[in-house]
Amino acid sequence: MQISSAVFLKSALKPVQYPEADRPEIAFAGRSNVGKSSMINCLLNRRGLVRTSSTPGRTQMLNFFDINERFRFVDLPGYGFARVPMAVKKSWGPMIRAYLESRSTLRGVVFILDIRRIPSEEDLRLLDWLEEYGCPTIMAVTKADKLARSRRDRQIETIASTCGLPVDAFTLFSATTRQGKDEIWERIETALEL
């Protein structure tokens, strides 16, 4: 995918604040620190477009980006952030569900897991919601560069079985080596029907 423009549009907490639903959208979901910002920046060849989790404020909202004036990326708020007040933790579920339920232009969700971690209860809950709303899901396992090959394979098998999915549903990714970048883009393009 050639990226001619990638522009931050706005942050939103609830549907009335979303930008107009006039372009197809791909959302990115995962726990805080999973490597979501790094993945989006890597896909868009931009360094600082999406802020990383060291700035928790904006990461607790939905952030909309316009890409090539043709489609949008939505950075969904990360979850599992230990230092976040209870009120914010509680608002996360309704915020995500409201988005998944109401967004007519949503074409797919890139669901990101860390290769070194067993999926958490929150990960599995989100996966259930995606299924419940019939949302096409692109499963990605990031930070692949952090493990040696043999451990990586074993870890993917564990992650896949915890999610109840086949191993080949997952795309291995690394923002550091750019492994898996083309494959993620292919899956995004298919979801967007580009």
| Residue choice 72, 103, 107, 143 for contact with ligand GDP (CB under 6 A) | 143
Listed ranges 3-11, 26-34, 83-91, 132-140: which one lies at the site for ligand GDP (CB under 6 A)? 26-34
- Closer of 102 and 177 to ligand GDP (Cβ): 177
In this chain, which of 146, 147, 163, 165 binds ligand GDP, going by CB under 6 A?
Answer: 146
Among 6, 27, 32, 180, binds ligand GDP (CB under 6 A): 32
Q: In sequence order, what are the beta bridge partners of 7?
A: 66
The tokens for 14 are 């609830």
Helix, strand, or coil here: 192? Answer: helix
List, as one string, the DSSP characters of 120-184.
Answer: PHHHHHHHHHHHHTT--EEEEEE-GGGS-HHHHHHHHHHHHHHHT--GGGEEE--TTT-TTHHHH
- 104, 75 contact by CB (below 8 A): no
Residue 37 or 137 having the CB closest to ligand GDP: 37
Q: Is 174 a binder of ligand GDP (CB under 6 A)?
A: yes
Binding residues for ligand GDP, total number by CB under 6 A: 18
If we measure between CA atoms, which residue out of 129, 176, 162, 172 comes closest to residue 29? 129
Q: Applying CB under 6 A, does 66 fall inside the site for ligand GDP?
A: no
Establish if 171 lies at the interface with ligand GDP (CB under 6 A). no
Rounded to 5°, the CA angle 19-171-63 comes to 20
Element (H, E) at 188: helix 181-192
Q: Does 181 bind ligand GDP (CB under 6 A)?
A: no
Give the pair of three-digit tokens for residue 26.
Answer: 């791909």
- One DSSP character per residue, 83-107 reads TS-HHHHHHHHHHHHHHHHH-TTEE
Site map 102..141 versus ligand GDP, x via CB under 6 A? ----------------------------------------
* Part of the chain binding ligand GDP (CB under 6 A), chosen from 31-39, 65-73, 161-169, 183-191: 31-39
145 sits near ligand GDP (criterion: CB under 6 A): yes
Backbone angles phi, psi at 138, to 5 degrees: -105, 110
Stretch that binds ligand GDP, among 1-9, 33-41, 60-68, 133-141 (CB under 6 A): 33-41
Residues that bind ligand GDP (CB under 6 A): 30, 32-38, 52-53, 78, 142-143, 145-146, 174-176
